[in-house]
Structure formats: structure tokens, C-alpha cells
Amino acid sequence: MTLHVVASLDGFIARKDNSVSWLDAPGSVYEAGVSVSEEEIAAFVKAIDCYVLGSRTYEHALELGWPYGDTPTVVLTNRELSSTKKSVEFYSGDLTTLVREKLAPRYRDIWLVGGAIASQRFLSLGLVDEIKLTVAPVLLGDGLRLFGDSEAETRWTLKSVAAYRNGFVELSYAATK
């Protein structure tokens, strides 16, 4: 399972009021960075077989405009949420069972896309194989922390770094075996 999140330079994934408008704010240009076309993004996203997200990220995504298309999406919740999309399935319970027994046999490229609570749970259970952390060129000062406290120190191996023209940097790490 791949964890993908975008964080500010000071390690926040959303402002306190949940807003993520800072992600789209026009910024400086890094001339040596790569630019990615809409077609390239579409081809990349098409390769994702399944998304997993916490209920708060789900509710926020519905408000902002659903970014996950028709790709199968599992939303973690202990509440009875109304289903607005055919591609969405709700899940409550053991996360190891979800990943190992339900998702892994069906999907190859599984993306955990937040938020902080959901990410922390999967990380602490050792269910994340890869972290793709995109760092945005902004200090927010306050907000929702990328990762919470954890009892365990875990090591990660840097696999690739990509710097984009918009000043965002994507760091890809694999879990060190």
C-alpha cells in the first residue's frame, strides 16, 4: 500500500479549519523543475487500482469536488454514512484484514490518501510499503499535523525525488526491510 500526502514545509496537511486552498495557491517557479502535462497526470492516476481514505477526508473530498473518479474507494468509518457514489465502499474494523485479505488479492496499486488519523493507523500497523510525500513550498504555521505521535521508530529508504516547476517536491520512500 502506498501512502500519498501533500504537506507544507512545516509538516501540516490542512489548516485548522480543514482548508487545503494553499495547495493551489500560485507560487514561485522553479526553473529546473519538471512540468507534468494533464495527459501525464491522467495516465498516472489511471494506474491506481484503489483508494483508501478516512471519513473526514471523504467528507471534505465530497465538498471540494470528488477527485477519485470511478476508481474503487474504501472509506474508513464507524458511522453510518450515506453512500453518494457507486465506487465507494465503507469499512469499519481491523485494518490488517482490510489490506491483506480484502484489498491485496483484488488490487495491485492501492493508495492511502489520508488524512492524518487514517495514515497514522496504517503506519503503526506496518501496512504501508511506500510513502510518497509531496512537500509544498509554504509554511502554514498551524494546522493538522501530517503524522501524530508514534511509539515506534521506523526506517525508510529513499527511492526517488522529483522536483516540479511549481516548487513542489515529491519524495518517495520504501519501507526498509
Which positions lie near ligand NAP, rule CB under 6 A? 5-6, 13-14, 18, 20, 53-57, 60, 76-79, 92, 95, 113-118, 121, 144
For the CB of residue 116, give the shortest distance to ligand NAP in the complex, in Å.
3
* Backbone torsion region of residue 143, taken as left when φ is above 0, otherwise alpha when ψ lies between -120 and 50, otherwise beta: left
Residue number closest to ligand NAP, CB atom: 115
Rank residues 79 and 176 by Cβ distance to ligand NAP and give the closer one: 79
CA distance 97 to 42: 31
61 or 72, CB closer to ligand NAP?
61
Q: Which of 91, 156 has the CB closer to ligand NAP?
A: 91
Nearer to ligand NAP, 21 or 176 (CB): 21
Quickly list DSSP for 10-78.
TSEEE-TT---GGGTS-----TTSB---HHHHHHHHHT--EEEEEHHHHHHHHHH---STTS-EEEE-S
Q: In whole angstroms, what is the distance from residue 75 CA to residue 169 CA?
A: 27
Output the smallest distance, CB 90 to ligand NAP, in A: 9
Q: In whole angstroms, how close is the CB of 85 to ligand NAP at the nearest point?
A: 16
